[in-house]
Amino acid sequence: MESHESLKSYKNRLDDALDNRFLREAMDKFAVAYRASRENAFAGMDVADLIQQVADIKAAAIADSKALLDQFIRKAKAHGVHVHLADRAEDANRIIGEIAQKSGSKKIVKSKSMTAEEIHLNRWLENLGLEVTETDLGEWIVQLRKEGPSHMVMPAIHLSRFQVADLFSDVTGRDQDAEIDRLVKVARKELREKFVEADMGITGANYALADTGTIGIATNEGNARLVTTLPKVHVALVGIDKLLPTLADALTVNRILPKNATGQAITSYVTWITGPSECTTTPSGKREMHIVFLDNGRKKIAADPVFSQVLQCVRCGACANVCPVYRMVGGHQMGHIYIGAIGLITTYFFHGMENAKNLVQNCTNCGACKAVCAGGIDLPHLIKEIHARIQDEAGHPLQSLLLGKVLKSRKLFHSLLRTAHLAQKPLLDKKERPYLRHLPMIFSPDHNFRRLPAIADVPFRDRFEKLHQPAKNPGFTIALFSGCVQDFVYPEHLEAAMKGFAQHNINVTFPMGQSCCGLPAVSMGEKSAARDVALQNLDAVYLDGVDYIVTLCASCASHLKHGVPKLLKDYAPEKAAAFADKVIPYSVFMNDIVGIESDVSDGANAGRKTAFHSPCHLCRGLGVHNTPHELIEKSGNQYVPTEEEETCCGFGGSFSTTFPAVSNEILTRKLDDVTESGADLLVTECPGCVLQLRGGAAKQGRKFTVCHLSELLYPRSDP
């Protein structure tokens, strides 16, 4: 089914979700509680190593899936299982419908299966006149509401117990208390009757073991055991990506699945089924068992060198649990059938470009999903790849096309910025010079959630020669990579840094041919423009004699270090690797390489409670966590932790202009944390984060000020 929903209509849905107070509070509580439970569940374990083991097992199984499928079929048939192969969703639906009809089944019970959701199996069976009942509590609730799950593991997470009590009152015809224990009892009573009456049970499977022809099903409620053992027919619908060689492989995956999914130490029930079980009511004395293997595009994904890793997904749902956007708008807005980061990607493959085109833009590129992914999938990178692919197939929107064209020519880009500086004059706030007084008409009122900085009178590149002090016997020679925001909007960040470089006898070069790092083009799906820009930067920065390429923008640093080598792997791999190797973020350079000590700030700027907002591209992109805290202490200020220091601020480049309402909610949550910490000052290490946090704090009249780390270390005046 294809939807042709416009971006505007999608944004209206997001607005409705943001207005849903219960949803917001429930998701917020869950996000905080999940983080703590996950940490507890993995205590004492080497999580990164376990993720790598799972990724390796899954990647090898994907590469070998044809042989594993053949082996599974031989073994399962030998046990008396009927095995079917379905190329497409409609084939699987038809096969399962025919099994029901041939076996004379009228009533079907199901345990939760995302694969069945993927092919809209219930709708198909109901159209054949069959009664289908979901038996997982959350899944039953959403079935009764005639909606899809809003989370892969917790399908009804978006609903309150009061909404469920009202629903159960309607279903049973009796008023039901909104007490969770009582509601569970109501469900148990209703569903027990369905189990007893059912002719056929349908499950998915978490694992399909080739060496024994066994399927494994993990559940928390035990309902899959009833679904597979009470009715006389059992059908398992299994994606071919669930094939694994052995039980040992499945047990490795199962060590991570519940911990990553819900922060539970173990799954309550894992059921292993090898062939049909005994059944006293059938002539053969055995239950009829069918396994339907579904392709539905999986073989094509497996053959794709960029996207094959998508099949490493074990459906834990963690990528939704940590996503700042999912947290604000819930799963019905952050996926089509599959939810969260993986949903943004698989929607394109399983449910078509039209259903994916708005979703893929709703990502801040914060990397939180990648950091927890049980399958080790580079989710943010794949989301950008899908975005670029959709734009190549469907046509590039004018806005992104223009940005791509402008970025390709550094001279054009910079002269447009200089022209914009002149054009902004009537919009400047005369009292508060750094901000625009009001936004240009092209912006809708939604964009007014933060104050926007004015373009600087003189860009850094025009100030460099004056600021540059040649070093005698320098300890290091660096190439300073400014990024376009600091060059043209916040040159004062770089000016402050120049003071420190001079103080520590560092020879600074500023390659004038450097341009934007290219990340904005990647974010907008303009991959070819991003590649051109990357090549320009490689040509501009002469590496001979340069010890480091230092940048004060964490996003630039992360993109130059990790994004550029990926973009240029078929164009200039060695040059890109040599370039990336020298890139270092400002904090790490000053603290770990230069080794600055406690004399970096003056008394007037010391003694303040200082919180840090860790840019996503610093903590997750570059693995830098504590270095900025050390620098804050060295500046004579007191570092104060905030609740979610490493959670995104909602900027995300083009994200904040495409989805300003969501961006504002994420920002406000961040500013609330800082207010609660009692900080006088909020420091960060990315000009995009400064723009978002400073503009938001000013707009909301927050009591703390916001500055870049360089301004804290080498202040011009009180920041």
Among residues 185 and 625, whose Cβ is nearest to ligand SF4?
625
Backbone angles phi, psi at 217, to 5 degrees: -125, 125
Which is nearer to ligand SF4, 233 or 345 (by Cβ)?
A: 345
| Min dist. Cβ of residue 570 to ligand SF4 (A) | 25
For residue 314, state whether it binds ligand SF4 (rule: CB under 6 A). Answer: yes
Nearer to ligand SF4, 554 or 713 (CB): 554
Helix (H, G, I), strand (E, B) or coil at 589: helix
Query: Which lies closer to ligand SF4 via its Cβ, residue 276 or residue 380?
Result: 380
100/114 with CB nearer ligand SF4: 114
**CA–CA separation, 111 vs 364, rounded Å?**
34
Q: Between 374 and 698, name the residue whose CB sits nearer to ligand SF4.
A: 374
CB of 37 to ligand SF4, least distance (A): 15
Measured on CA atoms in the order 92, 95, 99, 100, is the torsion positive or negative?
positive
CB atoms under 10 Å from CB of 382, counted, come to 22
Using CB under 6 A, which residues numbered 363 to 402 contact ligand SF4? 363-369, 372-375, 377, 379-380
Phi, psi of 133 (to 5 degrees): -125, 125
- Per rule CB under 6 A, is residue 663 in the interface with ligand SF4? no
Minimum CB–partner distance for residue 558 and ligand SF4 (Å): 12
- Dihedrals phi, psi of 531, to nearest 5 degrees: -65, -45
Sole residue written with tokens 């209703």: 190
Cβ proximity to ligand SF4, 368 vs 556, nearer residue: 368
CB of 378 to ligand SF4, least distance (A): 10
Binds ligand SF4 (CB under 6 A): choice among 41, 183, 215, 342: 342
Residue 313 binding ligand SF4, by CB under 6 A: yes
315 binds ligand SF4 (CB under 6 A): yes
Per rule CB under 6 A, is residue 155 in the interface with ligand SF4?
no
Give the CA radius of gyration of the chain: 28
201 or 324: CB nearest ligand SF4: 324
Query: At how many degrees (to 10) do helices 410-423 and 398-408 cross?
Result: 110
> Among candidates 334, 350, 392, 422, which has minimal Cα distance to 157?
334
Which lies closer to ligand SF4 via its Cβ, residue 313 or residue 496? 313
319 binds ligand SF4 (CB under 6 A): yes
Alpha helices in 441-524 (DSSP H): 460-467, 483-488, 491-503, 519-523
With a CB cutoff of 8 Å and minimum separation 6, the contacts of 82 are: 288, 289, 290, 291
> Least separation, in Å, of the C-beta of 367 and ligand SF4?
5
User: Residue 675 Cβ, how far from ligand SF4 at the closest point, in Å?
Assistant: 24
Q: From the list 318, 568, 583, 689, which residue makes contact with ligand SF4 (rule: CB under 6 A)?
A: 318
Stretch that binds ligand SF4, among 111-119, 162-170, 318-326, 513-521 (CB under 6 A): 318-326
Alpha-carbon distance of 630 to 199, in angstroms, equals: 66
Residue 97's alpha-carbon distances to 92, 104, 107, 109, in angstroms, are 8, 11, 12, 14
The C-alpha atoms of residue 296 and residue 121 are separated, in whole angstroms, by: 13
- State which of residues 18, 50, 95, 323 lies at the interface with ligand SF4 (CB under 6 A): 323
**The one segment of 78-86, 99-107, 322-330, 554-562 that binds ligand SF4 by CB under 6 A:** 322-330
The residue range among 309-317, 384-392, 401-409, 463-471 that interacts with ligand SF4, by the rule CB under 6 A, is 309-317
How far is C-alpha 674 from the chain's CA centre?
Answer: 23
Secondary structure (3-state) at 316: coil
Q: For the segment 443-502, give every residue that binds ligand SF4 (CB under 6 A).
A: none
487 or 665: whose CB is closer to ligand SF4? 665
**CB 601 → ligand SF4: shortest distance, Å?**
34
> Toward ligand SF4, which CB reaches closer, 33 or 67?
33
Query: What is the smallest separation between the CB atom of 314 and ligand SF4, expressed in angstroms?
Result: 5
Please give the Cα distance from 393 to 424 (Å, whole number).
36
From residue 24, how far is each of 447, 645, 693, 701 by CA, in Å?
21, 20, 21, 23
Task: Please tell me the count of residues contacting ligand SF4 according to CB under 6 A.
Answer: 28
Q: How many CB atoms lie within 10 A of CB 218?
A: 22
Residue for token pair 């190593």: 49
Q: Binding segment for ligand SF4 among 358-366, 404-412, 474-482, 678-686 (CB under 6 A)?
A: 358-366
The answer to whether 250 contacts ligand SF4 (rule: CB under 6 A) is: no
Q: Which is nearer to ligand SF4, 230 or 322 (CB)?
A: 322
- 190 burial (CB, 10 Å; 0-12 / 13-18 / 19+) is middle
- Residue 5, classed as helix, strand or coil, is coil
Q: Does the footprint of ligand SF4 cover residue 572 (CB under 6 A)?
A: no
Distance CA 552, CA 556 (A): 8
Taking the least distance from each CB to ligand SF4, the nearer of 65 and 365 is 365
Pick 135 or 262: Cβ nearer ligand SF4 = 262
In angstroms, what is the minimal distance from the CB of 326 to ligand SF4? 6
Distance CA 487, CA 216 (A): 56
What one-character DSSP code corresponds to residue 53? H
**Chosen residue from 155, 216, 276, 317 binding ligand SF4 by CB under 6 A:** 317
Q: Are 228 and 217 in contact (CB under 8 A)?
A: yes
d(CA 667, CA 610): 18
404 binds ligand SF4 (CB under 6 A): no
Q: In the structure encoding, which two tokens stand for residue 415, read together?
A: 């002269």
The correct pick among 57, 224, 235, 325 for binding ligand SF4 (CB under 6 A) is 325
Under DSSP, the state recorded for 44 is: T
Q: How far is the CB of 536 from ligand SF4 (least distance, A)?
A: 27
d(CA 587, CA 635): 12
Q: Give the interface segment with ligand SF4, choosing from 81-89, 335-343, 495-503, 680-688 (CB under 6 A).
A: 335-343
Q: Of 206 and 610, which CB lies nearer to ligand SF4 in the complex structure?
A: 206
Is 240 strand, coil or helix?
Answer: helix
Q: Which of 155-163, 277-285, 310-318, 463-471 is the region at the interface with ligand SF4 (rule: CB under 6 A)?
A: 310-318
Q: What type of residue is 712? A: L
- Would you count residue 341 as binding ligand SF4 (CB under 6 A)? yes
Closest CA to 543 of 565, 576, 521, 589: 576
- Is residue 289 a contact residue for ligand SF4 (CB under 6 A)? no
The DSSP 8-state label assigned to residue 268 in this structure reads S
CA distance 97 to 58: 31
Instruction: Report the residue number, 555 or 710, with the smaller CB distance to ligand SF4.
Output: 555
- Please state the closest distance from residue 248 (CB atom) to ligand SF4, in A: 19
Among the candidate windows 12-20, 126-134, 173-181, 311-319, which touches ligand SF4 by CB under 6 A? 311-319
Closest distance of CB 342 from ligand SF4, Å: 4
Cβ(686)–Cβ(554) under 8 Å?
Answer: yes
Q: Long-range contact list for 377-381, CB < 8 A, 24+ apart? A: 377/55, 377/309, 377/310, 377/312, 377/313, 377/342, 378/309, 379/319, 379/341, 379/342, 379/345, 380/341, 381/566
Q: Provide the binding-site residues for ligand SF4, judged by CB under 6 A.
A: 313-319, 322-325, 340-342, 363-369, 372-375, 377, 379-380
